[in-house]
Amino acid sequence: MRDGLLSLRRHPGRGEKIGNDAGALLWVGENQMLLVECPRTPDGEYPDGGASAEVWTHPDPLPYIELETLGPLQTLDVGDRLERTNTYTLLRRSHADPRADAQRILSRRSQSHRSPFGVH
């Protein structure tokens, strides 16, 4: 972790999983970025050691990365409903350095007073 950003690269030989308490995940590709936002519920009890966001990577021959948000644990009775909203935003890259692009998005989110990225 550096400057409030946690970075993970896919390993071709093994899968990895990390979880954190972020309210958003940002994937930075060669030309675009995908921001997935799902605000964390204050005082909610979350699965997987308190994770509200997880990143999964898969080894070759299926080279994909999965960004996943998790909601707080809740008990539902028959007929109950539960809703959660994820917001997906596709953004263009504007810097050669992926960290600079990520920092730009991070600072924009901080200025709008939304929940921050990161691991606390």
Q: Which residues span the domain enclosing 47?
A: 16-72+83-110
The whole-number average pLDDT for the span 94-103 is 92
Pairing assessment for the beta strands 32-37 and 87-92 based on DSSP bridges: antiparallel
Sheet holding 16-20, edge to edge: 16-20, 53-57, 65-69
Residue-level pLDDT at 1? 67
User: Would 104 be classed as within a structural domain?
Assistant: yes
Q: Is residue 98 part of a domain?
A: yes
Encoded tokens for 9? 């690269």
Query: Does residue 6 sit within a domain?
Result: no
- Is 119 part of any domain? no
pLDDT in tens, 32-81: 999 999 999 989 999 999 999 999 999 999 999 999 999 999 999 999 99
Q: Does the pLDDT value for residue 93 go beyond 70?
A: yes
Tokens (6 digits) for 104: 């730009």
The answer to whether position 45 is within a domain reads yes
Does 120 score more than 50 pLDDT?
A: no
Residue 109: which pLDDT band, with cuts at 50, 70 and 90?
confident
Cα within 13 Å of Cα(1), Cβ side: 9
- Structural domain count, the chain: 1
Q: What is the rounded distance in angstroms from the CA atom of residue 91 to the CA atom of residue 29? A: 10
Per-residue three-class SS string for 15-65 = CEEEEECCCEEEEECCCEEEEEECCCCCCCCCHHHHCCEEEEECCCCCCCE
pLDDT value of position 115: 44
